[in-house]
Amino acid sequence: MLDWNKINTVLLDMDGTLLDLNFDNHFWLEFIPERYALENGLTIEKANNILWPLFKNMEGKLEWYCLDYWSEKLNLDIAGLKAEISGLISVLPHVSEFLTALNKTDKQVLLVTNAHRDSLSIKMEKTCLQPFFDDIICSHDFGFAKEHQSFWQAFQNQQGWDKQSTLMVDDSLAVLYSAKTFGIEHLLSITRPDSKKAVRSITEFPAIHDFREIMPSTW
């Protein structure tokens, strides 16, 4: 599936790629509606009727990933609430082995995430993955989400990686389509970003169930 001899730079998404998306799905689809309902004297059903259209309207936009935006919009301390249930944050199977093997190669390894810096800090503190990366790229620093071409242009201008020898691994098809439009040669999706949900059937891009399928040789 993957010829490592053709790859110099590896771009890895965080949520749903390296980390179990179950945390984020639980947080936004269950925990936040419960807390919003509690704070506003609503039933869960009424809270969801208010929140779901708000969430849907922001999908793919930088605001969707911005904790400051949602804290103001919902009058909740979103970063604080994430920290409150941070015990649920977990790394997907075989990610650590993959990153360890990758670090023994000559590849440049970059974490590239839409996550807000506050969320990123909580997750790096919890998982201790930060030392595996040559750099951590947050789309908020550029003012555009990964779904937009402006992000990729600004990111490449800053880092100077070569499109033809770059691998991007991401669970989001929208992000992968954006990366493909920009010209990134090697693209991979994830079939099971949320460990509590069924395996997805991905036909648009090559996809892996876990990182053992693309483990680089260390000898």
Of the pLDDT bands very low, low, confident and very high (cuts 50, 70, 90), residue 64 is confident
Helix (H, G, I), strand (E, B) or coil at 33: helix
Q: What residue ranges do the domains of the chain occupy?
A: 4-19+90-214, 23-87
**Which of 55-59, 89-93, 102-106 has the least mean pLDDT?**
55-59
Q: What's the mean pLDDT in 192-201?
A: 95
Of the pLDDT bands very low, low, confident and very high (cuts 50, 70, 90), residue 135 is very high
As a whole number, the mean pLDDT across the chain is: 95
Which tens digit of pLDDT belongs to each residue from 76-93?
999 999 999 999 999 999
CA 122 and chain centroid, separation: 14
pTM greater than 0.75 (yes/no): yes
C-beta neighbour count of 56 within 10 angstroms: 9
User: What homologous superfamily does CATH list for 4-19+90-214?
Assistant: HAD superfamily/HAD-like (3.40.50.1000)
Using CA atoms, how far apart are residues 105 and 147, in angstroms rounded to an integer?
29
pLDDT at 218: 64
Parallel, antiparallel or unpaired: strands 135-138 and 166-169: unpaired
Distance separating the N- and C-terminal Cα atoms of the chain: 19
Which tens digit of pLDDT belongs to each residue from 8-32?
999 999 999 999 999 999 999 999 9
Q: What's the mean pLDDT in 69-80?
A: 95
pLDDT at 59: 83
The arrangement of strands across the sheet holding 186-190 comes to 135-138, 108-113, 9-12, 166-169, 186-190, 207-208
Q: Which of 160, 56, 167 is nearest to 109 (CA)?
A: 167
Find residue 135's DSSP bridge partners: 110
Using CA atoms, how far apart are residues 179 and 190, in angstroms rounded to an integer?
15
